[in-house]
Amino acid sequence: MAGIRTVDLASFKTIEVSSDGHRTLAYPVDCEGRKADIEFGQEATTLLIKGIQRRFHQLSTDPRARPRIYRDLCDELMSHGYNYTVGRIRRKWNNLLRKYKRIKKDQNPVKPQWEYLQVVDQSDCGSSVGNTKITDLVFADDAVIFAESLEVLVMALEALHEEAKPLGLEVSWLKTKVQVLGDLLDEAVQSVHACGEDIEILESFTYLGSAVHNDGGSRQEVLQRIGIAHGVMDSLSGSIWRCRYLCRRTKIRIFKSLVIPVLLYGCETWTLNSDLKRRINAFVHAASPFTLFHRPWWHRLDFYSDTCDDLRIMPPPGALRRTHSQR
């Protein structure tokens, strides 16, 4: 989906922001506070932007249709009492695009050359983490869109739907889900309506094999990983662990190659507490071939340090004391 041209459409729509429940234009002003293109009028500019929103795809992909589109915009503005020529409308729209690009390029928090009358960052698609803003995650045909409000999310989904059509791509609304992190929506809201489809809201969603819960914790994912790893251990019980023709070194390599990767899949994103660490530690101690082979306790320490360094997991102290006393 990297070829889908959604950036221009998103940038175009962020010219309009929400203020006190009404849609108003966030137009640029210079350092002295003078309004840019004030002679065109704020209300007329807002009507122009709304009119282009409905025709943006054809305007950007079909140059031959642009004269007709500008004439339609002229008639639409005239129906609201604004008498502007086609050339004036074309120049106004080009000026808006140039000024918006200049704002994005020259905006400097230390020495600002341009500023907004209203903050448009709140309407931009994306989620802020410190000074970093993440807009989306894309892996093959699996995409995640971040938004800090429901309106922006719906806008981004509609933009993705419209921009995918020329490329022969379609959004699978059956597989599309919405996950709300925090208390942004009322609990009574069960779905989100976008592009004529109702999108289900889920508390937990599996993305690329990892379960993501709306509370931001990793308990569900860790327990699921432990369960899957248990299944792998059971499936290898008769053919590998109890096989007399395989040496211990081979069994240990199989354990590290087949069980540990399943257990620690996606562990880079886990948020662990003492209880989850204890559960992972208990599984590794109970399922480890070292327990089956009754290896010395210091070999277990080397094994834990080698395979679970990312999680900083150590064997239960009680188990080590018992093993050491048996030596």
Burial of 23 (0-12, 13-18, 19+ CB in 10 A): exposed
Q: What pLDDT does residue 228 have?
A: 92
Digit-coded pLDDT (tens) for 207-243: 888 888 877 788 888 999 999 998 988 888 878 888 8
> What angle in degrees, to the nearest 10, is found between the helix axes of 297-307 and 274-287?
120
Global confidence as pTM: 0.49
What is the pLDDT of the chain when averaged over all its residues?
A: 67
Quick: pLDDT tens for 303-312: 544 544 433 4
- Tokens 């390599």 — which residue? 253
Task: Map out the domains of the chain as residue ranges.
Answer: 27-110, 127-210, 215-326
Please indicate whether residue 168 or residue 259 has the higher confidence score (pLDDT).
259
User: Between vectors from CA 265 to CA 260 and to CA 266, what angle results, nearest 5°?
Assistant: 150
What's the per-residue H, E or C state across 194-239? ECCEEEEEECEEEECCEEEECCCCCHHHHHHHHHHHHHHHHHCHHH
CA proximity to 199, closest of 236, 234, 147:
147
> Which DSSP category does 288 fall into?
S
pLDDT at position 263 over 80: yes
| pLDDT greater than 60 at residue 47 | yes
Residue 95 scores a pLDDT above 80: no
Question: How far apart are alpha carbons 70 and 93 in whole angstroms?
Answer: 10
